[in-house]
Chains A and B, each alone.
Chain A
């Protein structure tokens, strides 16, 4: 296999790994932009993965499964929203509790179906490659033929959900930065009291974004259990929710940057497996899987340090993690 194809396949693999992270990161960015730090991403992804899988298995309907995945995680984030917005509990502690709750909930729900696989019908849909071009006509053309093949292998042979996820990220960016409701979300995250004074309904806006953000996280879980793996297994998210929490800081709460950030983190997850083509590098300790697993967090710390060192840099939504008491001026 030549180098071009190797790079193309590497990129394709990184994209597959990045999708659950991307959905989670976009969702958590929406939540945090409205001023709520939800550390329960892992739990929400588990809930989405479990409810999505159970419904996919029982009903054989991909649409119902998507809705169920979103509803499952939506339910989890509703609990979180009620506790942190209405009850004004500590957001970090509540989020941690949500992780434990969500993981337990999901493993309990999925238990009866552990080791089963989705039906042929669901598989046909999740493995479909709707944008795969037919390149037989140009395959003989020098330069152009191989170039198109690389592009196709890297970008065009994915399932529908991959493109859908990118669309969601772009949409979230447009919504946050180019619409009035998006402006409301950001101002609520910065200063809920001022937002409140200018007539924004802080409580309902926060409820909405915590829940919708949670639903996207659930969709990320759904992607792992139903689309990518096609089976239910205990703890199927395997810690990716925590990577999302780090990623949101890494991408500076920005849905477009999330695409690049998650691609980088996704690539880091699999770079070890692909080192085999370059044996000289593969044996270096810095490329051992143990070291590679550390890099996402290391990079997040570096980004944090850099932004804190630059005094004028934006440090994230100013009210992040603070409950809003209307009476408390």
Chain B
């Protein structure tokens, strides 16, 4: 028995040694002349949701700028609540020689701020946060515009005038999602009510699906989502109702009778611009907040389930949306769901109020929180 134990110990040591050597070998060799861009993602690049949208954007940027000029160093599945892992990953990118580093989830913020202060010669970009400094920019998009349009689709497609929405965690970003969606719904169908179920998770497909089914069981015939998985769409397919996705074009065979469209992220243009800026030596910090006009967000192509006249109606609004942006989405008069007037006629919700939104617009019932 003793011998066996020694053997196992020896093998464990050996395997650790091997993996350590292998890890060391992973350090990319400096390739001359190429700009190295580091990225950390919260989930795998192929998650079909949030991270995939970012990864597609980077791939497009590299293709347009040229793989001979830019090289990506990507680290996936870094939990953004894990400050230790975030720091390790960012440091690794910094020490690998990345000149530009993107952190693509909200909770990376504090760590990014700290490292931006430490590595002054590296440019950092943080998605969906609000901190900036000389070498730290933040960026996000006005997905609310596409949400509003998807709300119109939902408002037109519902027959029961009950629309479900499976929401993630209660932060201003998701509140904006729920509200802009509802404003879109009620712009064409003032009778409709939107029932929101909060899962209080970012990521639990089983739970998301049950939340969607509960909404459908209580009479909703269209369900929308602010979740990164397709579970809500699957529930819609199984129960024979319509679904509106998020993040990415979600269409697949598996949800072909449910999926109508989705507000989607198109990061390619922004990433190309920022990488090019570093190559040209004119990168500047700032706070970017593009919308449909800039092409950062869009509505996915509507499927054939959406009647042509609804498609025309939605597409007819795209130009107005591009012109006026979120000012159109959050144009008064807007009441909250207790009946209090929040935005007066002729006014529009300002950016700060959008960024800290914590109230529901009229027409929303909270089903679960």
Name A's B-contacting residues (CB within 8 A): 1, 6, 9, 13, 16-17, 20, 86-87, 107, 111-118, 120, 123, 127, 224, 228-231, 233-236, 238, 240, 269-270, 272-277, 279, 282, 288-290, 293
Residue of B nearest to A231 (CB): B230
Interface string of B170-210 (1 = CB under 8 A from A): 00000000000000000000000001011111011111011
Asked whether A123 lies within 8 Å of B214 as measured between CB atoms, the reply is no
A107 to B43, CA, bound (A): 10
Residue of A nearest to B256 (CB): A120
B84-92, B96-104, B129-137, B215-223: which lies at the interface: B215-223
Complex partner residue of A118 from B201, B254, B368, CB under 8 angstroms = B254
Task: Give min CB distance, A185 to chain B, whole Å.
Answer: 24
**Chain A contacts of B368 at CB under 8 A?**
272-276, 282, 289
Asked whether B206 lies within 8 Å of A229 as measured between CB atoms, the reply is yes
Complex partner residue of A120 from B48, B76, B253, CB under 8 angstroms = B253
Other A-B contacts than A229-B234, A233-B48, 12 sampled, CB-CB below 8 A, are: A13-B217, A117-B254, A118-B254, A231-B48, A233-B205, A234-B47, A234-B203, A235-B203, A238-B204, A238-B207, A273-B367, A276-B215
Main secondary structure of the interface of A (DSSP, over half): helix
Q: Does B107 contact A (CB under 8 A)?
A: no
9 residue pairs from A and B, CB less than 8 Å apart = A6-B217, A87-B8, A113-B46, A228-B206, A231-B234, A233-B229, A235-B203, A273-B214, A282-B367
CB proximity to A under 8 Å, residues B215-259: 215, 217-219, 229-231, 234, 238, 252-254
A118 to B195, CA, bound (A): 30
Q: Does B49 contact A (CB under 8 A)?
A: yes
A117 to B231, CA, bound (A): 11
Top 5 A-B residue pairs of the complex, sorted by shortest distance between their CB atoms: A115-B48, A276-B367, A273-B214, A117-B254, A238-B204
Asked whether B206 lies within 8 Å of A224 as measured between CB atoms, the reply is yes
**Chain A contacts of B11 at CB under 8 A?**
none
**Chain B contacts of A86 at CB under 8 A?**
1, 4
Q: Does B52 contact A (CB under 8 A)?
A: yes
Interface string of B1-23 (1 = CB under 8 A from A): 10011001000000000000000
Asked whether A273 lies within 8 Å of B211 as measured between CB atoms, the reply is yes
Asked whether B201 lies within 8 Å of A238 as measured between CB atoms, the reply is yes
**Chain A contacts of B209 at CB under 8 A?**
228-229
Asked whether B254 lies within 8 Å of A273 as measured between CB atoms, the reply is no
**Chain B contacts of A17 at CB under 8 A?**
206, 210
**Chain B contacts of A117 at CB under 8 A?**
230, 252-254
Q: Does B341 contact A (CB under 8 A)?
A: no
Asked whether B205 lies within 8 Å of A236 as measured between CB atoms, the reply is yes
Residue of A nearest to B200 (CB): A289
**Chain B contacts of A270 at CB under 8 A?**
207, 210-211, 214
Asked whether B217 lies within 8 Å of A1 as measured between CB atoms, the reply is yes
Residue of A nearest to B252 (CB): A117
**Chain A contacts of B369 at CB under 8 A?**
272, 288-289
Task: Give min CB distance, A220 to chain B, whole Å.
Answer: 11
A171 to B49, CA, bound (A): 41
With A269-B210, A273-B211, A288-B369 in contact, do A234 and B217 touch (Cβ < 8 Å)? no
Task: Give min CB distance, A19 to chain B, whole Å.
Answer: 10
Asked whether B8 lies within 8 Å of A273 as measured between CB atoms, the reply is no
A182 to B200, CA, bound (A): 42
Task: Give min CB distance, A191 to chain B, whole Å.
Answer: 23
A234 to B5, CA, bound (A): 34
Residue of B nearest to A16 (CB): B210
Q: Does B213 contact A (CB under 8 A)?
A: yes
Task: Give min CB distance, B213 to chain A, whole Å.
Answer: 6
**Chain B contacts of A274 at CB under 8 A?**
214, 368
A87 to B4, CA, bound (A): 9
**Chain A contacts of B76 at CB under 8 A?**
111
With A273-B367, A274-B214, A276-B214 in contact, do A230 and B254 touch (Cβ < 8 Å)? yes
Q: Does B65 contact A (CB under 8 A)?
A: no
**Chain A contacts of B366 at CB under 8 A?**
282
Task: Give min CB distance, A9 to chain B, whole Å.
Answer: 5
With A228-B206, A276-B368 in contact, do A13 and B48 touch (Cβ < 8 Å)? no
Task: Give min CB distance, B126 to chain A, whole Å.
Answer: 22
Residue of B nearest to A115 (CB): B48
Asked whether B203 lies within 8 Å of A123 as measured between CB atoms, the reply is no
**Chain B contacts of A118 at CB under 8 A?**
254
Task: Give min CB distance, B23 to chain A, whole Å.
Answer: 14
Interface string of B43-58 (1 = CB under 8 A from A): 1101111001000000
Complex partner residue of B46 from A111, A120, A224, CB under 8 angstroms = A111
Most chain B beta-carbon neighbours within 10 Å: one of A107, A114, A269? A114
Task: Give min CB distance, B87 to chain A, whole Å.
Answer: 20
Asked whether A233 lies within 8 Å of B199 as measured between CB atoms, the reply is no
Most chain B beta-carbon neighbours within 10 Å: one of A87, A269, A289? A289
Residue of B nearest to A237 (CB): B206
Asked whether A115 lies within 8 Å of B197 as measured between CB atoms, the reply is no
**Chain B contacts of A114 at CB under 8 A?**
43-44, 46-48
Task: Give min CB distance, B6 to chain A, whole Å.
Answer: 11
With A229-B206, A269-B210 in contact, do A234 and B43 touch (Cβ < 8 Å)? yes
**Chain A contacts of B52 at CB under 8 A?**
115
Q: Does B320 contact A (CB under 8 A)?
A: no
A13 to B4, CA, bound (A): 50
With A9-B217, A273-B197, A289-B199 in contact, do A87 and B5 touch (Cβ < 8 Å)? yes
A236 to B230, CA, bound (A): 13
Asked whether B203 lies within 8 Å of A238 as measured between CB atoms, the reply is yes
Task: Give min CB distance, B208 to chain A, whole Å.
Answer: 9
Task: Give min CB distance, B202 to chain A, whole Å.
Answer: 10
Asked whether A127 lies within 8 Å of B238 as measured between CB atoms, the reply is yes
